[in-house]
Chains A and B, each alone.
Chain A
Amino acid sequence: MDQQSCFKDNRILIIAPSGHDAENTAQVLRAEGIAAQVCGGLQQACDEAGSGVGGFLFTHESLTARSLVHLLQLLEQQPPWSDIPIILLASGYEPGAPIFHSVKDLGNSSAVTVLDRPLRVVTLVSAVKASLRARRRQYQVRDLLRQRESILAELSNRAATLEASQRELVLAKEKIAVHASELEQTVTDRTAKLRETIAQLEAFSYSISHDMRGPLRAMQQYSQILLDDYSTQVPSEAADYLGRIFRGARRLDRLIQDVLTYSRAARVAIPLVCVDVDKLVRDIIQQYPAFQPPIAEVEILLPLPRVLANEASLTQCISNLLDNAVKFTKPNQTPKVKVYPGGVNGRVQISIEDNGIGIAPENQERIFNIFERVHHDREYEGTGIGLSIVKKTVERMGGEVGVQSCIGQGSIFWIKLPSASELL
């Protein structure tokens, strides 16, 4: 608060129409450090009070009927916190005196202190100080009220802002919901379209691969018939060429079959059940002469446990691994293959260990990729798909496949599958 308004708030407005009373009183008060201002009449004092007042001090002579109306009006218009102290200097103040009624009216709407004249300076000063002190309290209440007002205004401002941002949030949420449902629809539509495209592609590759295999079978069989039925008429060089036609056609036929198997492994649902691996492996060995003496020795060292798998898929995997185990051997060496179980943490590991040529460390990862081959076809025949079929199939059954090997010291291929023991 600036000095000017501080002065005005704390000043005593003095109204004493007769003689030098007013000026004298003002001097007495100023001498006590009290701000005092002399006004010409009660009406002027009322106007002056509008810009701040500590209290009124007037003599009863200045209280005319007209000026009383003015004063009462001013007092009534005060804000709730305000109750301007009034000190009335009266002479002969007692019931019955005309001044008595005026003061009574005044007393109903203000804090009036009546001091009977003549009075001592100390009485006047103490009354004025008491009034100013009460007035200062009122101003403190005013300031607190103002503070409260501004806090309330700030609060309502913030509430409004909060409400606005809540509305925005609701709108944003609605927008997100709309977007989400649109997105879901888009995903549904595209998925349906994608499924359709995949189905078309599958139908296409199914048709094309079966159509391709017909002529390949014809090439194989005609060249075979020529070699078998006309062996005496076919010169050895021509027989070699026929052999090449036969092998080329057979190779391409196998490639197509392997690609079909691989794509089937990648897309067809593989239901898992409890599979007796021991029986499965024994059946495979019994079924193929390539896994039996004198061509190869395949031995199951310990009974193989049951796993959670798909019988057809697991047969494919183990056949492919056994095929490799007996295929990649040194010339003139009988393949010796050991099959044995292992396992930890509810998983069963089936290892297939061979005495073959082994795999260099840098090739041990890539042999599982489709079409990756380490050897030339003239060394070891193959399509480069067998192990990728194993990997894809084992992974689709929730398992893993891997290899440990050293060049020249054989390989151990293993597959890990969930144990079926908890199903029993």
Chain B
Amino acid sequence: MTILLVEDSADDVFFMQRALKLAGTTASVQVAEDGQIAIDYLSGEGPFANRAEFPLPILILLDLRMPRVPGFEVLKWLRNIEEFSCLPVIILSSSREESDMKRAYALGANSFLVKTGDGKQLNDMVKTLVDYWLKFNQAPSSCVETSMY
């Protein structure tokens, strides 16, 4: 079970990894430092060709403001690829702007969470997130439509 964390801030990566660990998840966390790396990872480009080492995630935590390719572009790219069209994507942003939320949901985000500076609140949030998305939420094993007959 793999979570792909797309986040350019080393601090936020650290806090998120810590919170995930505290939440007690067994999922492994892979980090992409910007949108382009995330796209490369998902498409198995270059160093990411080895799926044993870089398995496809069951959940993506996506920051919005990043260098090179921003989060919205990653989301747009993902939803245009059948394989990833129903992969759960959770936006993790410091923005509370209505316009950002609307755009994220319109592009097919499954959830929108606002980054907090309060460590305790972050831990609560990540615990809930892990419980919901990794334990209770049901997602198809593959987004590719296969004929039953």
Q: Which residues of A contact B (CB under 8 A)?
A: 206-207, 210-211, 213-222, 224-225, 228, 249-250, 253, 257, 260-261, 264, 268, 312
Number of interface residues of B (CB under 8 A): 18
Assess the B98–A268 pair: CB atoms within 8 A. yes
Residue B94 contacts which of A214, A220, A225, A249 (CB distance < 8 angstroms)?
Answer: A214
Q: Does the CB pair A224–B120 fall under 8 Å?
A: yes
Residues of B within 8 A of A220 (CB): 117-119
Specify the chain A residue showing the minimal Cβ separation from B99: A268
Measured between beta carbons, the chain B residues less than 8 angstroms from A257 are: 96
Q: A214-B11, A218-B11, A221-B122 are in contact. Are A250 and B117 (CB under 8 A)?
A: yes
- CB atoms of A210 and B11 under 8 A apart: no
Which chain B residue shows the least CB distance to A221?
Answer: B119
Query: For the complex, what is the distance from the CA of A400 to the CA of B145, rounded to whole Å?
Result: 56
B53 lies within 8 A of chain A by Cβ: no
Q: Considering the complex, give the chain B residue whose CB is closest to the CB of A224.
A: B119
Nearest chain A CB to B98 CB, angstrom units: 7
Q: Are A217 and B11 in contact (CB under 8 A)?
A: yes
- Cβ A213 vs Cβ B94 within 8 A: yes
Is A228 within 8 A of B119, CB to CB? Answer: yes
CB distance from A313 to the nearest CB of B (A): 11
B21 at the interface (CB under 8 A from A): no
In the bound complex, residues from chain B placing their C-beta under 8 Å from that of A261 are 96
**Known contacts A214-B9, A221-B119, A250-B117; A206/B97 CB under 8 A:** yes
Given contacts A213-B94, A214-B11, contact A253 B117 (CB under 8 A): yes
Q: Which residues of B contact A222 (CB under 8 A)?
A: 11
Majority SS at the chain B contact face: loop
Cβ–Cβ < 8 Å partners of B98 in chain A: 264, 268, 312
**B119 adjacent to A225 (CB under 8 Å):** yes
Q: Contacts A264-B97, A268-B98: A210 and B65 contacting too (C-beta < 8 A)?
A: yes
Nearest-neighbor residue (CB-CB) of B93 within chain A: A210
Let me know if B79 is at the binding interface, CB within 8 A: no
Is B116 interfacial (CB 8 A cutoff)? yes
* Residue B15 at the chain A interface, CB threshold 8 Å: yes
Question: Is the Cβ of A260 less than 8 Å from the Cβ of B117?
Answer: no
User: Which applies to chain A's interface (DSSP): helix, strand, loop or mixed?
Assistant: helix
The yes or no answer to B12 lying at the interface (CB within 8 A) is yes
Q: Which residues of A sit under 8 angstroms from B18, Cβ to Cβ?
A: 225
Interfacial residues of chain B within 33-91, with CB under 8 A of chain A in the complex: 65
B110 at the interface (CB under 8 A from A): no
Known: A210-B65, A250-B118. A217 touches B12 (CB 8 A): yes
Instruction: State A214–B122 Cα separation when bound (angstroms).
Output: 14
Query: CA of A227 to CA of B116 in the docked complex: distance in angstroms?
Result: 18
With A and B bound together, what is the CA distance between A249 and B116 in angstroms?
Answer: 12
Contact of A221 among B65, B95, B117 (CB under 8 A): B117
A217-B11, A218-B11, A221-B15 given as contacts; is B95 within 8 A of A210 (CB)? yes
Residues in B with CB closer than 8 Å to A312 are 98
Q: Can you report 14 residue pairs joining A to B where beta carbons are below 8 Å apart?
A: A206-B95, A206-B97, A210-B94, A210-B95, A214-B11, A216-B117, A217-B11, A217-B116, A221-B11, A225-B119, A250-B118, A261-B96, A264-B97, A312-B98
CB of A390, distance to nearest CB on chain B (Å):
17
Q: Which of A207, A219, A221, A260 has the most CB of B within 10 A?
A: A221
Measured between beta carbons, the chain A residues less than 8 angstroms from B95 are 206, 210
Query: In the complex, A150 Cα to B94 Cα: how many Å?
Result: 90
Q: How far is the CA of A250 from the CA of B98 in the complex (A)?
A: 23
B73 to chain A, nearest CB (A): 17
Using CB atoms, name the residue of chain B closest to A218.
Answer: B11
Q: Distance in Å from the Cβ of A204 to the closest Cβ of chain B? A: 14
Residues of B within 8 A of A221 (CB): 11, 15, 117-119, 122
With A214-B9, A217-B12, A260-B96 as known contacts, state yes or no: A249 contacts B119, CB within 8 Å.
no
Known A-B contacts A224-B120, A250-B118; A217 and B97 likewise in contact (beta carbons under 8 Å): no
Q: Which A residues lie within 8 Å of B96 (CB)?
A: 257, 260-261
Residue of A nearest to B15 (CB): A221
A56 CA to B147 CA in the complex, in Å?
137
Does any Cβ of A come within 8 Å of B127's Cβ?
A: no
Q: For the complex, give the distance between the alpha carbons of A264 and B117 in Å.
A: 21
Given A210-B95, A257-B96, check contact A217 B120 (CB 8 Å).
no
